[in-house]
């Protein structure tokens, strides 16, 4: 039996502590995320999966420092995140809207480094390496919109890699590409992760994808969001689309995650969170 | 073959118009209607000489300075107003008021305040040309894609770098649309400012010709204005094609999909 991933937080790179996010709207407050706590160890590849509307994007925005949480905090290497940290890169779902259409592929990848004042020679090395790693060495002079969706997302991934982040956040990055491209990109992420040893938090709504990619899958409940379950994926290190997906263990894990998501959709909440809710309710009455 | 056809498209209608004009003025005509041959002759006499330096160039200089300053003010002001929420809330109602004032009514006022000077005329051009650029820039800055903005933010692109790499290029299609309007406005205001009070310039010369019944000369001045407008339009189109190459390319791809 492997140690519980939640316990193994001796060297947490990324810590999410009691995160809560309430949106204030004209129609009243909307609680998107209720109470989330988890750690990512250095070099971990974790998938965050949850039913649609479970606040995945909200959570990611809070982690990446784009949005301030209502309560709780996010720590990167022990330091609280108050704005987008330098050691973090984000890949968004909307590849068509996250690359600069007025810049060529190479300039897009280079821009964050240039902005940081990385010397030209070093920049060239990083950009070439990143483009090479995502298989795009042949198109540096193209504009992003001249490329297919899958290739555009590769550019976005190259830009993230070149930035040399400690933590790479990915917000449903392959939700808008076709199934075959998606399989290729999933394998690309595994390769990049192994090669660079970067910590990856991969948000998805695709159960198969989460099991195939992750070393660990964090299942979110429906909104207001808490953690439904946090499981370790004990599949072999080397994965490939055909063999891994036909392993009995893959089917078991997929089955389990699917079940949990279904429970989550029905409104089932883990015991710990329900009791937390009760105390909170009492607290509100008292107040 | 392709060039020939393009030339045909560009020159077809003008040639036809001149032919119609020429044939309908063969006989005796009204004193105020010019004949093509006379006009061509007058045109050369009037404009290829001292007048080019004493009237055409000063007018052009005022136009270029006025429009350039207007574009500069419009873009800088638009980026500030578009990015700073409280500034926008503070200024927008007032801007609508100033924008609604037709600039020609300012000519006599500016004349009294600034005298009959070149700066007065440049001021008239600026006061009219600044609005399309300013308002379009504000809109363009506000319409920056939120995902793109988040992307830039996560990579630490902020402050001046954000303006340079994100806001300005992103707003450039709208800015160019504003510039296009400003150019035609600028030509009109240049002429008007010179008609009121001046001792040189195209507007001044054309009014002089009118008053002295130098009819072919007056017509030749109007042709100069028309040619100026065409030249400006070509220069603009060339610049726009280069600056917004990415934008037109992206649109083409989107439309094809």
pLDDT number for residue A272: 57
Q: Give the pLDDT score at B147.
A: 93
Q: Which residues of A touch B247 (CB under 8 A)?
A: 101-102
Q: What is the pLDDT of residue A271?
A: 63
Chain-chain contact of A146 with B249 (C-beta, under 8 angstroms):
yes
pLDDT in tens, B34-58: 888 888 888 888 888 888 888 888 8
Residues A216 and A14 sit within 8 Å (Cβ to Cβ): no
B166 touches chain A (CB under 8 A): yes
Chain A residue numbers touching B156 (CB-CB < 8 A): 84, 86, 112, 115-116
What's the rounded mean pLDDT across residues B84-97? 89
B100: its two tokens: 């609604």
DSSP per residue over A53-122, as a string?
TSSHHHHHHHHTTSS--SEEEEEETTEEPSS--TTEEEE-S-HHHHS-TTS-HHHHHHHHHHHHT--HHH
pLDDT score recorded for residue B172: 96
Q: What is the mean pLDDT of residues B90-112?
A: 86
Do the chains contact at B153 and A112, CB–CB below 8 Å?
no
Residue in chain B closest to A159 (alpha carbons) equals B155
Chain B residue numbers touching A88 (CB-CB < 8 A): 154
Which residue would you say has higher pLDDT here, A35 or B65?
Answer: B65
pLDDT at B115 over 90: no
pLDDT value, residue B112: 86
What is the number of other CB atoms lying within 10 angstroms of the CB of residue A159?
A: 27
- Chain A partners within 8 Å of B166 (Cβ): 100
pLDDT given for residue B10 in this prediction: 84
pLDDT at B23: 87
Confidence at A23, pLDDT banded by 50, 70, 90:
confident
Interface residue ranges in chain A relative to chain B, Cβ cutoff 8 Å: 61, 64-66, 84, 86, 88-90, 92, 94, 97-103, 111-112, 115-116, 143, 145-146, 159, 163
User: How sure is the predictor about A175, in pLDDT bands with cuts at 50, 70 and 90?
Assistant: confident
B143 touches chain A (CB under 8 A): no
Residue numbers in B near A90 (CB within 8 A) = 150-151, 154
Size of interface A-B (CB pairs under 8 A): 66
Q: What is the pLDDT of residue A2?
A: 45
- Of chain B, the percentage scoring pLDDT greater than 70 comes to 100
Per-residue pLDDT at A10: 54
- Distance between CA atoms of residues B188 and A200, nearest Å: 60
Residue B175 has pLDDT above 90, yes or no: yes
Sorting pLDDT into bands at 50, 70 and 90, what band is A9?
Answer: very low
Least confident range from A81-95, A110-124, A146-160, A222-236: namely A222-236
What digits encode the pLDDT tens for the residues A192-234?
A: 999 888 999 999 989 999 999 999 999 988 877 888 889 998 8
Give how far B142 is from chain A: nearest CA, Å: 16
As to burial, measured by CB atoms within 10 angstroms (0-12 exposed, 13-18 middle, 19+ buried), residue B151 is buried
**Considering chain A, what percentage of its residues have pLDDT values greater than 90?**
49
* Interchain CB distance below 8 Å, A102 and B247: yes
Instruction: Classify residue B171 as exposed, middle or buried by CB count within 10 Å of its CB (0-12, 13-18, 19+).
Output: buried
Is the pLDDT at A8 greater than 80, yes or no? no
The reply to whether ipTM tops 0.85 is no
A260-264, B179-183, B186-190: the lowest-pLDDT one: A260-264
Q: Which chain A residue shows the shortest CA-CA distance from B159?
A: A115
- All residues of chain A having their beta carbon less than 8 Å from the beta carbon of residue B150 are 61, 66, 90, 92, 98
Q: Judge whether residue B75 has pLDDT over 90.
A: yes
């Amino acid at each position: 039996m492997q140690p519980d991933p939640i316990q193994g937080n001796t060297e947490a790179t990324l810590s999410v502590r009691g995160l809560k996010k309430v949106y204030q709207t004209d129609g009243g407050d909307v609680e998107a995320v209720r109470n989330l706590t988890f750690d990512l160890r250095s070099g971990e590849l974790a998938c965050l999966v949850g039913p649609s509307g479970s606040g995945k994007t909200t959570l990611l925005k809070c982690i990446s420092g784009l949005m301030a949480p209502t309560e709780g905090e996010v720590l990167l290497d022990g330091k609280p995140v108050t704005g987008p940290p330098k050691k973090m890169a984000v890949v968004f779902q909307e590849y068509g809207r996250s690359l600069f259409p007025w810049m060529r592929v190479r300039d897009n990848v280079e821009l964050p480094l240039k902005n940081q004042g990385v010397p030209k020679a070093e920049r060239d090395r990083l950009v070439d390496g990143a483009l090479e790693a995502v298989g795009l060495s042949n198109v540096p002079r193209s504009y992003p919109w001249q490329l297919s969706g899958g290739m555009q997302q590769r550019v976005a991934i190259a830009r993230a890699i070149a930035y040399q982040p400690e933590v790479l956040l990915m917000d449903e990055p392959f939700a808008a590409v076709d199934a075959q491209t998606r399989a290729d990109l999933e394998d690309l992420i595994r390769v990049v992760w192994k090669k660079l040893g970067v910590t990856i938090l991969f948000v998805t709504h695709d159960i198969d994808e989460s099991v195939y990619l992750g070393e660990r899958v964090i299942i979110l409940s429906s909104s207001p969001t808490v953690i439904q379950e946090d499981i370790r994926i004990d599949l072999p290190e080397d994965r490939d689309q055909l063999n891994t997906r036909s392993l009995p263990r893959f089917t078991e894990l997929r089955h389990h995650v699917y079940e949990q998501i279904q429970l989550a959709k029905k409104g089932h909440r883990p015991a710990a969170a329900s009791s937390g809710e009760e105390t909170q309710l009492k607290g509100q009455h008292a107040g | 073959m392709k060039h020939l056809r393009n030339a045909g498209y560009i020159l077809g209608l003008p040639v036809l118009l001149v032919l119609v004009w020429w044939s309908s003025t063969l006989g005796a005509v009204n004193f105020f209607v010019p004949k093509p041959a006379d006009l061509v002759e007058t045109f050369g006499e009037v404009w290829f000489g001292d007048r080019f330096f004493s009237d055409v160039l000063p007018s052009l200089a005022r136009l270029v300075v006025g429009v350039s300053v207007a574009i500069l003010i419009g873009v800088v002001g638009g980026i500030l107003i578009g990015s700073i929420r409280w500034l926008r809330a503070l200024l927008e109602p007032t801007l609508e008021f100033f924008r609604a004032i037709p600039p020609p009514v300012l000519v006599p006022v500016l004349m009294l305040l600034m005298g009959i000077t070149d700066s007065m005329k440049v001021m008239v051009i600026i006061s009219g040309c600044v609005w399309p650029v300013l308002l379009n820039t504000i809109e363009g800055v506000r319409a920056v894609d939120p995902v793109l903005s988040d992307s830039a933010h996560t990579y630490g692109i902020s402050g001046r770098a954000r303006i340079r790499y994100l806001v300005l290029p992103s707003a450039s299609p709208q800015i160019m649309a504003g510039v296009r309007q400003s150019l035609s406005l600028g030509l009109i205001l240049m002429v008007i400012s010179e008609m009121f009070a001046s001792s040189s310039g195209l507007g001044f010369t054309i009014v002089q010709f009118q008053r002295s019944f130098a009819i072919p000369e007056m017509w030749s001045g109007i042709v100069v204005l028309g040619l100026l407008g065409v030249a400006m339009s070509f220069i603009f189109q060339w610049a726009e094609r280069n600056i917004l190459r990415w934008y037109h390319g992206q649109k083409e791809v989107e439309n094809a999909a």
